[in-house]
A and B are shown apart, each in its own frame.
Chain A
Amino acid sequence: MENANSCPSLKPNEYKSGTKPVWCPGCGDYSVLLSITKAMSELNLEPENVALVSGIGCSSRLPAYLNVYGFHAVHGRALPVATGLKVSRPDLTVLAAGGDGDGFSIGGNHFMHACRRNVDMTYIVMDNQVYGMTKGQASPTTDPDWDKSKLTPDGTKINPYYPLVIALASGANFIARASSTDPNGAAKVLVDAIRHPGFSFVHMLSPCVTFRPEQKEWKKMVRPAPVEPTTDAAVAAKRLMTDDNFFLGTLYKGNRPAYQPELKSTVEHLSELEQGFIL
């Protein structure tokens, strides 16, 4: 590593906690875990200065498998937990992670406002277009004609949600797509995302081999986006609106300053706050 100030860099494996994941054999999330550890190693992050916050779902189990500080919160609320942490502790590297149901359905409002608020953090959504932990229901990114769920036996009949478009419209400062089928490429995108100031959104394709076995084909469909990252939101909008969901790489890099109020006391003694009450 170029960074001479910090301790010798850890190997990717040294960022793992050793706890055995609950994921199914072949799940894309194993590879995402690997990419995250590669990115942390590449950035030479000290595990005690990193916090990873998640919600509920298969992919949200991730924090327990790393030896950084972790918070496995309730369903849909990873982003507000991460926001409170980062705003009050700007010295930490804060990551948030979860699935498509967690992030775009129950946590949809927080996603929009986290993009808009632009706190310096990286949000990794492992999208497999299904609720896996509850045994296979349609999520906001599921195609309308997917009829394998008992809950929606005729398919959802409603169009999927386009998270990258929503992210751009809501003000995310960095938008990228990566795939668990390409862990080195994904690690590179994560390094970029963590380095970029403000709210970075990484749409991580991560197949569910149990409830969406057809997603095994994704590895043949993904390909690097044939374009450089743009800083122009209008260009990005066109790019993301016409995207087929399989272009990988950093697609948009904004230059909005991150939201971070200054934490600096201007009073000597708390009694100064009482002046307004004294008659």
Chain B
Amino acid sequence: MNDSASNPLAPPQSKGAPRSLSIAMLGSGGSGVMTAGQQLLDAAGQAGWYGMMTRSSGPQIRGGEAAALLRLSPQPVETHKGRFDILLAIDWLNADRFVGEITLDSNSVVIGDVGGQVPEAISAMGGRYMELPLSELAKGISGGRPNMVALGALAQLIGLPLEALEKGLTKSLAKKGEAAIAASMAGVRAGIEQASAIPDIPPFRIDANSQRERWSITGNEAAGLGAIRGGIRFVAAYPITPGTEVLEWLAPNLKKVGGVLVQAEDELASINQLIGGSFGGTPSLTATSGPGLALMIESIGLAVASETPVVIVDVMRGGPSTGIPTKSEQSDLNIALYGLHGDAPHIVVAPMSIGDCLFTTQWATHLAETLQTAAIVLSDQSLGQTRALIDRPADIAFVSGGRKITRQAEDFRRYVVNESGVSPMSIPGTPGCQYTADGLEHSPTGTPSSRAEDHIQQLNKRKRKLDRFDYGSHWAKVEGEGDIAVLTWGSSTGPVSEAIDMLAAEGRKVRLVSMRLLLPAQPERLAAALAGVTRTLVVEQCHGAQFYHYLRAHYDLPGELRSMAIPGPLMIRPDDVYSELKAWEHP
């Protein structure tokens, strides 16, 4: 059992956050910290733990400095803590670059190679420093590498069983052959032996239910799987950081299900290829990031006007312009909500965790197809590129109400004005139902029209179909009670949720409302969720407080309102939200 009184490495137990260990591995490019971090995460998963790992590196394509940031826990975790229990550096070159991302305190343990020079900025934060002969031990092993020695040492320190490491290494190094596995395992054993001399750290207790099927997945991979589960069979792709992995996962997997991915010449092409694919009856999706979304905007309006379903996953990064491509920010909210010219009602949704990238992308596909419009999924770099150990996400099947028709229909009018606002959509190949889809305003038959009557009818219809649809409970995650609420969205949900748990452990009730559905706005639902609330803190990772302003524009919010809007590249941490809420309670 974990006992923080006797164990300096144990995280503080006083707050209600998941019991967890945060580990940072640093090294220069090529030192293998990412590989070792990945192995540690896999092994933790093999042992029945949960966890997550974020890769942090410089702008270099290869080389430069790198950090693998891990958090391991017997319970699912959805965010990093700012404070790290263990910092292990294979070398200290450029390590001070990570000072903003990694906080240490006197309870932290800092491990370096023998003879290494700990940078002043790191030693100044405190922590017990100890040296291990990482390179020396690696040299004694044929094909041995310091990162594997470090992996063994860390595993020993946190009580990970050797079998879990062996299972993970054997699986991931299978292609490299027996010799590579043997060399790695020899390094791991040397590290374990060396670390055994360090005072023991009691291992986590593994919960009884922890042997359930465990997945290792990134948000970008989860979005890809959600797309396929939602029925996506055509993808047009243009590479962009940090969205590319959605497309790279989809390329081979779409092929397996009889779909196809085309690499387009630019984002203007990719969005329009989607429109073509979807017009042909094939559910279509692309993934991009802010600059790509900006290029696609004109044609997203075409999808809205022509009522052609398309899904765009925007994995947000720091902006504006090229911004900070490898770091997260929630600052594409405005362009996703308001970027389209004209009155163009569409769907904007946001996943609130790595695993939720699957559900939300699947749901977005269902909404786009059912409502014959464009759906933008606002994921971000921190969700997309972080790998997490999660329980297998449930299979959810939506019943499509897409009204696609493939058999001849009497009196077919593609844009007929009806009560639901969703008109029948004939698929090419259907005799007698030919029509021309158009970005020009049109009459119910699709014939271009600039008549006032047609314009108002079609505007009303395109708005009505979104307004009348029942989004059910998926619109938001609403948890807890109390007269203080935190209103947030997307990747900020993780740190907010954990801050609320910390307060709950102190007996303070705070309500959480994280909005998955951002457009169309749901004022009645939010009013019900906030009933009785007197104070609301709005949390977002965005300098311009775009979410706060969106809320002010579309909703009547009760009581006092406060904005906590922090730009990237540093992630919002649970402690930041906790402190903000405490400060508001006791100014």
Answer yes or no: B97 CB below 8 A from chain A CBs. no
Stretch at the interface among A78-86, A142-150, A224-232: A78-86
Whether B431 lies near A48 (C-beta < 8 A) is: yes
Give CA–CA (A160, B393) in the complex, Å: 58
Give CA–CA (A88, B233) in the complex, Å: 8
Give CA–CA (A277, B299) in the complex, Å: 34
Stretch at the interface among A190-198, A247-255, A264-272: A264-272
Answer yes or no: B220 CB below 8 A from chain A CBs. no
Give CA–CA (A231, B139) in the complex, Å: 63
Whether B428 lies near A88 (C-beta < 8 A) is: no
A26 nearest CB across to chain B (Å): 22
B206 nearest CB across to chain A (Å): 14
Answer yes or no: A274 CB below 8 A from chain B CBs. yes
Given A64-B447, A84-B275, A279 and B46 contact (CB-CB distance below 8 Å): yes
Give CA–CA (A50, B233) in the complex, Å: 21
Answer yes or no: A155 CB below 8 A from chain B CBs. no
Whether A48 lies near B429 (C-beta < 8 A) is: yes
Bitwise, A187-221 to B at CB < 8 A (1) or not (0) is: 00000000000000000000000000000000000
Bitwise, A69-97 to B at CB < 8 A (1) or not (0) is: 11111101101111111111101100000
Whether B439 lies near A89 (C-beta < 8 A) is: no
Which residue of the partner chain A has the closest CB to B44?
A: A279
Answer yes or no: B437 CB below 8 A from chain A CBs. yes
How many A residues touch B, CB cutoff 8 Å? 50
Whether B234 lies near A88 (C-beta < 8 A) is: yes
Answer yes or no: A19 CB below 8 A from chain B CBs. yes
Whether A85 lies near B280 (C-beta < 8 A) is: yes
A253 nearest CB across to chain B (Å): 25
Interface size class of B (residues with CB under 8 A): 35 or more
A70 nearest CB across to chain B (Å): 3
Give CA–CA (A47, B278) in the complex, Å: 19
Answer yes or no: B101 CB below 8 A from chain A CBs. no
Residues on B with beta carbons closer than 8 Å to the beta carbon of A263 = 233, 258-260
Instruction: Choose one: B42, B282, B429; the contact of A279 (CB below 8 Å).
Output: B42
Give CA–CA (A79, B270) in the complex, Å: 11
A94 nearest CB across to chain B (Å): 9
- 8 Å CB contacts to B: which residues of A124-151? none
Give CA–CA (A48, B45) in the complex, Å: 54
Answer yes or no: A178 CB below 8 A from chain B CBs. no
Bitwise, B275-296 to A at CB < 8 A (1) or not (0) is: 1111111101000000000000
Residues on A with beta carbons closer than 8 Å to the beta carbon of B582 = none
Whether B439 lies near A82 (C-beta < 8 A) is: no
Residues on B with beta carbons closer than 8 Å to the beta carbon of A88 = 233-234, 260, 276-277, 280, 282, 284
Residues on A with beta carbons closer than 8 Å to the beta carbon of B281 = 89
Give CA–CA (A72, B308) in the complex, Å: 12
Give CA–CA (A79, B299) in the complex, Å: 13
Answer yes or no: B306 CB below 8 A from chain A CBs. yes
Whether A277 lies near B434 (C-beta < 8 A) is: no
Residues on B with beta carbons closer than 8 Å to the beta carbon of A109 = 265-266, 268-269
Residues on A with beta carbons closer than 8 Å to the beta carbon of B284 = 84, 88
Residues on B with beta carbons closer than 8 Å to the beta carbon of A48 = 428-434
Whether A72 lies near B429 (C-beta < 8 A) is: no
Answer yes or no: B182 CB below 8 A from chain A CBs. no
Which residue of the partner chain A has the closest CB to B48?
A: A279
Given A49-B429, A63-B436, A84 and B262 contact (CB-CB distance below 8 Å): yes
Which residue of the partner chain B has the closest CB to A72?
A: B438
Answer yes or no: A53 CB below 8 A from chain B CBs. yes
Whether B269 lies near A113 (C-beta < 8 A) is: yes
Whether A84 lies near B277 (C-beta < 8 A) is: yes
Whether B437 lies near A92 (C-beta < 8 A) is: no
Answer yes or no: A8 CB below 8 A from chain B CBs. no
Residues on B with beta carbons closer than 8 Å to the beta carbon of A81 = 272-273, 275-276, 279
A121 nearest CB across to chain B (Å): 10
Instruction: Choose one: A79, A112, A267, A277; the contact of B256 (CB below 8 Å).
Output: A267
Bitwise, A40-80 to B at CB < 8 A (1) or not (0) is: 00000011110101000000010110011111111011011
Which residue of the partner chain B has the closest CB to A65?
A: B436
Closest 5 CB pairs of A and B: A84-B276, A70-B436, A84-B273, A265-B258, A80-B272
Knowing that A73-B272, A89-B282 are A-B contacts, what are 7 other residue pairs whose CB atoms are under 8 Å apart, sorted by A's residue number?
A: A48-B433, A64-B436, A72-B436, A81-B276, A89-B280, A110-B265, A265-B258
